[in-house]
Chain A
Amino acid sequence: MNAHGIVSADTFDCRVAFAEKLIELAEADSRIVAVCNDSVGSSNLNAFRDRFPDRLINVGIAEQNMVGVAAGLANGGFIPFVCAAGPFLSGRATEQVKADIAYSNYGVVLCAMSPGMAYGELGPTHHSIEDLSWMRAIDNLDVLVPADPEQTKAAMDWAVSSGRPIYMRVGRHKVPSVTPADRDVAFTFGKIDVTGDGTDVALVATGTLVSRALEAAKLLEAEGISARVLNVSTIKPLDAETIIKAARETRGLVVAEEGVLEGGLGAAVATTLAENHPAKAKFLGVTSFAPTGSNDFLLEHFGLTVKGIADAARKLVG
Chain B
Amino acid sequence: MTISVWPDNKPLDVAAIRDLPEAERGEQLKLVAKQVRRLIVQTIDSARAGHIGGDLSVTDGLVTAAFGVLNIAPERADDPARDRLILSKGHCAAALYSVLALRGFFPVADLETFMKPLSALNGHPNRRKVKGVEANTGPLGHGLPIGVGSAVASKLSGKNWQTFVFLGDGELQEGSNWEAAMTAGHRKLDNLVAIVDRNRLQQGARTEDTASLDPLGDKWASFGWEVADIDGNDTAALLKAFTQDRKGKPLAVIANTLKGKGVSFIEDRVEWHHKVPSREQVELALKELA
Contacts and interface: CB of A to CB of B under 8 A. Distances in A.
- By size class, the interface of chain B is 20 to 34
A297 B141 contact: no
Nearest to A300: B117
A125 interface: yes
Contacts of B118: 291-293
Interface string B161-178: 000000000110111000
Interface of B: 47, 49, 90, 115-124, 126, 136-141, 170-171, 173-175, 202-205, 207, 210-211
Contact of A292 (B115, B205, B207): B115
Contact of A126 (B117, B124, B174): B124
| 6 nearest A-B pairs in the assembled complex, by CB-CB distance | A60-B211, A125-B138, A60-B173, A122-B123, A121-B115, A123-B122
B99 to A, nearest CB: 19
Contacts of A65: 175
A266 to B, nearest CB: 26
Nearest to B202: A38
Given A38-B204, A42-B203, A297-B117, A121 B49 contact: yes
A190 interface: no
Nearest to A59: B211
A76 interface: no
Contact of B136 (A63, A87, A122, A125): A125
A314 interface: no
B117 A294 contact: yes
A248 interface: no
A291 B113 CA distance: 13
Given A91-B139, A125-B138, A38 B203 contact: yes
A272 interface: no
16 contacts: A38-B170, A38-B204, A41-B204, A58-B210, A60-B202, A60-B210, A60-B211, A61-B170, A62-B175, A91-B139, A119-B123, A122-B124, A123-B126, A125-B138, A292-B117, A294-B117
A294 to B, nearest CB: 7
Contacts of A39: 203-204
Interface residues of chain B: helix, strand, loop or mixed (majority):
loop
Given A41-B204, A88-B139, A92-B139, 6 more contacts: A59-B211, A60-B207, A61-B202, A91-B139, A125-B90, A291-B118
Given A121-B49, A292-B123, A293-B117, A64 B175 contact: yes
A61 B47 CA distance: 26
A40 interface: yes
Nearest to B168: A61
- By size class, the interface of chain A is 20 to 34
Nearest to A36: B204
A291 B116 CA distance: 10
Interface of A: 38-42, 58-65, 87-88, 91-92, 119, 121-123, 125-126, 291-294, 297
A84 B137 CA distance: 18
Given A61-B170, A293-B118, A123 B123 contact: yes
A21 B117 CA distance: 36
Interface centre among B119, B121, B202, B204 (most CB of A within 10 A): B204
Contacts of A41: 203-204
Contacts of A88: 139
B122 to A, nearest CB: 4
A297 B207 CA distance: 35
A62 B138 contact: no
A292 B174 contact: no
A292 B210 contact: no
A169 B49 CA distance: 25
A212 B284 CA distance: 43
A88 B173 CA distance: 14
A38 B115 CA distance: 24
A61 B140 contact: yes
Contacts of A64: 175
Nearest to A62: B173
A61 B141 CA distance: 9
A125 B87 CA distance: 14
B204 A40 contact: yes
A60 B204 CA distance: 10
A202 B76 CA distance: 55
A88 B171 CA distance: 13
Nearest to B51: A122
Nearest to A293: B117
B140 A121 contact: no
Given A121-B122, A291-B118, A293-B118, A61 B137 contact: no
A99 to B, nearest CB: 16
A77 to B, nearest CB: 24
A59 B210 CA distance: 7
